[in-house]
Amino acid sequence: MKQHAFPALLNAHGPISYNMTNDYMFRAVLQSNNKVLRGLICSLLHLPEQKVVSAEITNPVVLGEAVTDKEFRLDINVILNNHTLINLEMQIANKLNWRERSVMYLCRSFDRLNRGQDYLDAKPAVHIGFLDYTLFEERPEFYASYKLINVKNHQKYSDSLTLHVVDLSRIDLATEEDKRYHIHEWAMLFKAATWEEIKMLASKDEYLQEASETIFRMSADELVRKRCLDREEYYQDLRSYERKIELDRIEHEQDLRNYERKIELDRIEHEQDLRNYERKIEQNRLAYEQDRQNYEQKIEQNRVAYEQDRQNYEQKIEQDRLEHERIIAEKEKEIQSLRAQLAQKGREINHNS
């Protein structure tokens, strides 16, 4: 490890005014120290130092110069080894558009061919975003890389476009590979809040030491500090905007929960009404069935009574017929007896005459 170029750093202590999550400090450190830029790129792209011949920033700014547009872009465009286009960006405010924005920036970097140039002359483009929030809450990852691939068999389509995302809020998820290339230490350096943290990280390797000393030098520059303050004020506006979005989101989710609860209560009430209706239908069916059985029973009782009355009536008719025949028979006997008596009387009168 080389001797400190800024021995005053050894005596620095307490909180840092602006660390590298401030995109102006991020820009100032990487623009003013090419070794730090190359060291960071080697770490992120897993490149040995000897593979990096040059790393040229193609959109430099005049450090300390006032920026009237608070939304001035501070992302860093780098051409690596005159072959690969790299875009580095620090983004701590969640504007909810990072995925679309990063893809757009990546495509703009790639689309640099002049008329008449062959497509094979296009330089590969890499976009590296440092976010202080989690892009995919359902699948958090410290250092993620994205390429064009076949979604079925994962066959790589092209190396021309690559997206890297470093989640500074989830350094705890750094893999062994991330640690082997010191990516987690760069993230801790960016997030460091005190000079004690900075000095501890500076002892890890020469690139982190260079970065630490450059942060110290930039922090001592009054104009750079002023520009960092301007960015902090801009961040504060963004954080207020984020809080408003979050409050609106919470209110929306509460409304949604209330709506879902109302739907559930209506569903329960509807199901209860349906059960009551079905119970009423079943009760009516049972009552109807009972009435039908009672009616059939009454009909059967009436039929049996009618049949009994009919039998009794026929029996009475038969009895009356038999009684009538008996009476006629008796009368005929009486008539015959009277006829016999008259005949006897007639014979006696004739005999006496």
Q: What percent of the chain has pLDDT over 90?
A: 69
pLDDT in tens, 272-303: 999 999 999 999 999 999 999 999 999 999 99
Summarize the confidence of residues 158-178 as an average pLDDT.
96
Summarize the confidence of residues 72-96 as an average pLDDT.
89
Q: Indicate the average pLDDT of the chain.
A: 91
pLDDT given at position 95:
74
The pLDDT-based confidence of 217 (bands split at 50, 70, 90) is very high
- d(CA 11, CA 15) in angstroms, rounded, equals 13
- d(CA 294, CA 181) in angstroms, rounded, equals 92
**86 pairs with which residues across the strands?**
78, 126
The pLDDT-based confidence of 92 (bands split at 50, 70, 90) is confident
pLDDT in tens, 243-254: 787 788 888 888
CA 146 to each of CA 52, 138, 166, 185, 298: distance values in angstroms, whole numbers, following the listed order:
22, 17, 12, 22, 86
pLDDT in tens, 120-139: 888 999 999 999 999 999 99
71-80: Cβ within 8 A, 24+ apart: 71/234, 74/23, 74/24, 74/26, 74/27, 74/231, 75/105, 76/26, 76/27, 76/30, 76/31, 76/37, 77/109, 78/37, 78/41, 79/54, 79/55, 79/123, 80/41, 80/52, 80/54, 80/55
Compute, in degrees rounded to 10, the torsion defined by CA atoms 106, 110, 111, 116.
180
In degrees, to the nearest 5, what angle opens at C-alpha 240 toward C-alphas 239 and 242? 60
Residue 335 burial (CB count, 10 A)? 10
Summarize the confidence of residues 181-191 as an average pLDDT.
98
Beta carbons within 8 Å of 192's beta carbon, 6+ residues apart = 16, 19, 198, 201
C-alpha neighbours within 13 Å on the C-beta side of residue 146: 13
pLDDT given at position 18:
95
- d(CA 184, CA 141) in angstroms, rounded, equals 12
